Chain A
Amino acid sequence: SQTIHQWPATLVQPVGSPLSLECTVEGTSNPNLYWYRQAAGRGLQLLFYSVGIGQISSEVPQNLSASRPQDRQFILSSKKLLLSDSGFYLCAWSVGVPFTSPLHFGNGTRLTVT
């Protein structure tokens, strides 16, 4: 069966510091991978998605970047965090055509920028 791992679960970082969140998927090959952010009381906002190694689509211009160095690894990064980067970051995977089959989410990373 497929599993998705995100770490760390929680993170507190000062403004201006770098960020690296990692997500890995097991049990499936060539998945679509996604990064979403969830603000309190709001729905999920798509940040990036990837259909293959080295292929990244960005949906929201911002202070973040994503990379996919391996088939089942997706990394979310920032060189300098802003206060507005605080939130709940979720990684997800799916198969087939992106956004046309269920996305399966990890348990997220709660990031607080201080």
Chain B
Amino acid sequence: GESVGLHLPTLSVQEGDNSIINCAYSNSASDYFIWYKQESGKGPQFIIDIRSNMDKRQGQRVTVLLNKTVKHLSLQIAATQPGDSAVYFCAENMAGANNLFFGTGTRLTVIP
């Protein structure tokens, strides 16, 4: 999951397994959430987003779940592939706030 600090949380999964990356957000008034994937030396790549009026949203091989009661966001990746190895960030925006607040990321390593 997400944490503040210099050491990234890590997650290792076997190729073909499903991955779940977690994120605890801080502000109950946040109404827009987004997941990014960042490979080494590159900029973050948009994966999927969700607004607070939804609990679940699906994309290609990815699902984002939002639990507003406990302020928790998760990204599920189905049938994880070696190309999914990267750092994954969640970000939140509170209505009216002029910023997207990013977590420090989780490093996903896929074991072939």
Binds B, one of A67-75, A77-85, A105-113: A105-113
Q: State whether A99 and B104 are in contact (beta carbons under 8 Å apart), knowing that A44-B44, A106-B43 are contacts in the complex.
A: no
Chain B residues near A41: list those with CB within 8 A: 5-8, 104
A35 within 8 A of B: no
B93 within 8 A of A: yes
B70 within 8 A of A: no
Interface size class of B (residues with CB under 8 A): 20 to 34
Q: How many residues of A contact B (CB 8 A)?
A: 24
Cα A74 to Cα B49 with chains together (Å): 25
Q: State whether A46 and B100 are in contact (beta carbons under 8 Å apart), knowing that A41-B6, A99-B32 are contacts in the complex.
A: yes
Interface centre among A57, A100, A110 (most CB of B within 10 A): A100
State how many angstroms separate the Cβ of A89 from the closest Cβ of chain B.
10
Cα A102 to Cα B46 with chains together (Å): 7
Cα A90 to Cα B42 with chains together (Å): 9
Cα A43 to Cα B6 with chains together (Å): 10
Chain A residues near B32: list those with CB within 8 A: 99-100
Please give me the residue from chain A that is nearest to B45 by CB atom: A105
Interface centre among B34, B42, B43, B100 (most CB of A within 10 A): B43
Instruction: Report which A residues bind B (CB closer than 8 A).
Output: 6, 40-44, 46, 49, 57, 59, 90, 92, 98-108, 110
**Which 8 A-B pairs rank lowest in CB-CB distance, beginning with the nearest?**
A105-B43, A43-B102, A102-B46, A44-B102, A41-B6, A99-B93, A107-B43, A43-B104
